[in-house]
């Protein structure tokens, strides 16, 4: 009960997923089974077990059942859609990372990074999540800081079709390949060259000192706040 109340409280004040309360179900099954037997309703327990076994069989063999009744497997009807294609995507990303050994994996979804860490091997274990809004929503947001990787290149793997919002954060963006790991999913890989940093893009306008050849940002609240390397001035065309 205590654990269930903790998860319920978290759901009220923030958010919680149903599976977080899974440990409660173990105790609940034991308690409910005892209660039904103690009150002479053992038949309800038997019915419950039979229904659960039948449900398990139906869900496990749903593709064969779909064929029998003529239901096409689509994005809306595929019960296993969320689990399909990850091994294939992992191999796709592994091949790209091997061809771009200096680059770091970059994604825009927590679930994608988690799956690739498992399926894409060692190169994906240092993968990063882009978090330009600085909103803390998951473990990776709390433990990663992409600003520590300014100047680095990345292999961006995404479902998104529009990458325009990210162009200001990198010197160049090249589209590599697109891949459909499953009939219902499509990912594209891009090479993002030279990450300029979140900080760099948060402050406007820009100012470049032609004497010291340093590029600065003015944050609107005080003096010029940051000096960048000479090569960044050149790459940006500020001479």
pLDDT surpassing 70 at residue 218: no
Task: For residues 166 and 104, state if they share a domain.
Answer: yes
3-state secondary structure (DSSP) of residue 206: strand
Between CA 176 and CA 180 the distance in angstroms is 14
Q: Provide the residue range defining the domain that includes 230.
A: 203-236
Percent of the chain with pLDDT over 70: 83
Q: Are 4 and 28 in contact (CB under 8 A)?
A: no
Task: For residues 126 and 188, state if they share a domain.
Answer: yes
Task: For residues 123 and 151, state if they share a domain.
Answer: yes
In a domain, 68, yes or no: no
pLDDT surpassing 90 at residue 92: yes
* Residue range 172-214, pLDDT digits in tens: 999 999 999 888 889 999 999 999 888 655 444 444 454 444 5
* Residue range 26-85, pLDDT digits in tens: 888 899 999 999 999 999 999 999 999 999 999 999 989 999 889 888 888 888 888 889
Task: For residues 41 and 105, state if they share a domain.
Answer: no
- How many structural domains comprise the chain? 3
Q: What is the mean pLDDT of residues 4-8?
A: 85
Q: Are 207 and 215 in contact (CB under 8 A)?
A: yes
Q: What is the mean pLDDT of residues 208-237?
A: 44
pLDDT surpassing 60 at residue 222: no
* Residue range 131-176, pLDDT digits in tens: 887 788 888 888 998 988 999 999 999 999 888 888 889 999 999 9
């Amino acid at each position: 009960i205590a654990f269930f109340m903790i998860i319920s409280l978290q759901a009220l004040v923030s958010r919680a997923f149903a599976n977080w309360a899974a440990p409660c179900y173990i105790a609940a099954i034991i308690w409910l089974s005892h209660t039904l037997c103690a009150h002479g309703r053992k038949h309800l327990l038997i019915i419950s077990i039979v229904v659960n076994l039948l449900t398990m069989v139906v869900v496990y063999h749903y593709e064969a059942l779909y064929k029998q009744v003529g239901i096409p497997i689509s994005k809306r009807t595929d019960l296993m859609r969320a689990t399909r294609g990850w091994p294939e995507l992992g191999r796709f990303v592994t091949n790209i990372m091997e061809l771009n050994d200096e680059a770091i994996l970059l994604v825009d979804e927590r679930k994608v990074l988690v799956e690739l860490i498992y399926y894409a091997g060692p190169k994906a274990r240092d993968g990063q999540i882009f978090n330009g809004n600085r909103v803390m929503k998951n473990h990776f947001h709390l433990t990663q800081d992409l600003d520590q990787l300014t100047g680095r290149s990345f292999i961006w793997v995404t479902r998104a079709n529009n990458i325009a919002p990210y162009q200001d954060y990198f010197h160049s963006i090249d589209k590599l390949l697109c891949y459909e790991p499953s009939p219902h999913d499509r990912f594209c890989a891009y090479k993002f060259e030279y990450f300029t940093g979140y900080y760099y893009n948060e402050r406007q306008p820009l100012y470049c000192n032609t004497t010291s050849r340093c590029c600065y940002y003015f944050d609107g609240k005080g003096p010029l706040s940051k000096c960048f390397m000479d090569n960044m001035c050149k790459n940006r065309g500020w001479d």
